[in-house]
Amino acid sequence: MDPIVILGAGLAGLSAAHFLQRPWRLIEKSERVGGLIKTEVIEGCAFDPTGHWLHLRDPEIKELVNTRWLPGQLVTIQRKAAIYSRGVFTRFPYQVNTHGLPAEVVAENLIGYVEAVYGEKGRELREREPRDFAEFILRYMGEGFAKNFMFPYNKKLWTVDPSELSAAWVGRFVPRPTLKEVVDGALGVGSDALGYNASFVYPREGGIESLARGILAHLKGGELSVNTEPTAIDWKTRKVTLSDGRTLGYSELLSTMSLPGLVRLVAKGASGVPDEVLAAAGRLRATTVTYVCVAARGKNPQPWHWIYLPEPEFKTYRIGSPSAVYAPLAPPDTSTFYVEYSHHGELSMAQAESYAVEDLVRSRMVNAAEDIFFARAREIPHAYVLYDNAYGPAKAEILRFLEHAGILTAGRYGQWEYSSMEDAILGGRACARRLNG
């Protein structure tokens, strides 16, 4: 009997292979497993593809990570994140930590919140579900928070106005503050423990990629092929054509590669796809993120693990510091950063590297441009899926066809979603359980 074929050896694909009780073949196009959790070492400095901090909630996954995949290898870290705006740092989340901002900004945020949540001005929005992300912000935070942080920051991150995005994705990612939390934050007695990532764990050695290596080391019952990618899928004959010239038969197919990319591969197969499915794949959009790996002379001038930058004079939306989070990620007396830019292909690597130096100095995360040892740009394609008006119907159209074709999908790319590392592991497990029967 043909094996179950898994396309992509990121966390979802590795998880599926781990939980499968039937023979599998794992196909990975790059030279090693991990997908987006590969750690790169540049001149002794370790960089993940931006912040990859692990949050474990599922009891089974937590047990696996702690006892089998990374036993005794996790350190627990309390988040130290901030917003840099109006020339000052305030603690994250912004909506419950406005103390330290100019008084008029604090007042604008407070009044806007009260009007939205309790006043006549916000009554219309309170009487129905938000139609889009902009209405979600106005409904639960008010015009002040929208103007001073939420609208400009999210436009940078998602590259479109919040009114063009659904509110369906927000879930645990966007905290909704209470009146007490907002007032306490304005008075300087607020908490920075709000939100899903207030604390997290991280591997003691090897960067976040050690998680992928830990899962791989315990895989049984299958075969891994690296430096190999699918070039076409024939869903009726259940065959995958590979870049090395082989044709691989499968009993079941699980894809963790990008959803639009999967549709294009199926379209290249002899059985093809309906025109409306191919058109739906063309309507799915995502941003590209260019992140710049930077190392600088000296210890971190600021204590922050990462900062958010809503204001337009900064091209970046977020700056993170691996060395501030976990000192062993950089050599002694060296600070490291990743500086992130979201776009649709219009930003060159050289531009991003230049902007990174400017943004680091202007935000006071680095003392002077002369302190910087290197700035090297890297790119993440389809980094953030856009939950726009086309998203829901287009994705549903594709998933209906894939169900008919007997193809499963999992992971951030396979499910075309905004999700965490643990979500990817859970998605792989769910697919494996379905295939185990």
Written in H, E and C, the secondary structure of 285-347 is CEEEEEEEEEEEECCCCCCCCEEECCCCCCCCCEEECHHHHCHHHCCCCEEEEEEEEEECCCC
CA distance linking residue 46 with residue 208, whole number of Å: 10
CA distance linking residue 255 with residue 407, whole number of Å: 7
Q: 254-294, pLDDT tens digit by residue?
A: 999 999 999 999 999 999 999 999 999 999 999 999 999 99
Beta-bridge partners for 24: 4, 222
Strands (E) across 361-429 are located at 372-385, 407-409
pLDDT of res. 321: 98
The pair of three-digit structure tokens given for residue 215, joined into one six-digit string:
């899962």
Closest CA to 231 of 223, 221, 219, 239: 239
Mean pLDDT of 52-57: 94
Check whether 195 has a pLDDT greater than 80.
no
Beta-bridge partners for 291: 340, 378
CA distance linking residue 24 with residue 406, whole number of Å: 16
Mean residue pLDDT of the chain comes to: 95
- Using an 8 Å Cβ cutoff, are 320 and 336 in contact? no
pLDDT classification of 427: cutoffs 50, 70, 90: very high
Query: Which of 131-135, 265-269, 328-332 bottoms out in mean pLDDT, i.e. has the lowest?
Result: 131-135
- Using an 8 Å Cβ cutoff, are 234 and 271 in contact? yes
Mean pLDDT of 195-216: 91
* pTM value > 0.85: yes
- Residue whose entry in the numeric block shows the structure tokens 């100095």: 361
pLDDT classification of 437: cutoffs 50, 70, 90: confident
Percent helix / strand / coil, the chain, rounded to 5: 40, 25, 40
Q: Return the amino acid letter for 277.
A: V
Mean pLDDT of 42-67: 96
CA distance linking residue 63 with residue 299, whole number of Å: 35
What ranges in 85-195 are assigned the alpha helix state H? 103-117, 123-126, 133-140, 142-145, 151-158, 179-187
Query: Which of 109-123, 159-173, 410-424 bottoms out in mean pLDDT, i.e. has the lowest?
Result: 159-173
Closest CA to 421 of 70, 40, 23: 70
CA distance linking residue 56 with residue 70, whole number of Å: 13
End-to-end CA distance of the chain: 16
Q: 346-400, pLDDT tens digit by residue?
A: 999 999 999 999 999 999 999 999 999 999 999 999 999 999 999 999 999 999 9
Half-sphere exposure of 162 (CA within 13 A, CB side): 21
Q: What angle do CA 256, 257, 258 make, to 5 degrees?
A: 120
- Quickly count: other Cβ atoms within 10 Å of residue 43's Cβ: 12
CA distance linking residue 411 with residue 401, whole number of Å: 18
Kindly list the distances between the CA atom of residue 224 and the CA atoms of 214, 230, 422, in Å, as whole numbers in the listed order: 15, 14, 22
Check whether 124 has a pLDDT greater than 90.
no
Q: How far does Cα 156 stand from its chain's mean position?
A: 15
The pair of three-digit structure tokens given for residue 364, joined into one six-digit string:
């006071």
pLDDT of res. 123: 86
The pair of three-digit structure tokens given for residue 46, joined into one six-digit string:
């370790």
| 63 CB-near residues (< 8 Å, 6+ apart) | none
Check whether 92 has a pLDDT greater than 80.
yes
Check whether 192 has a pLDDT greater than 70.
no
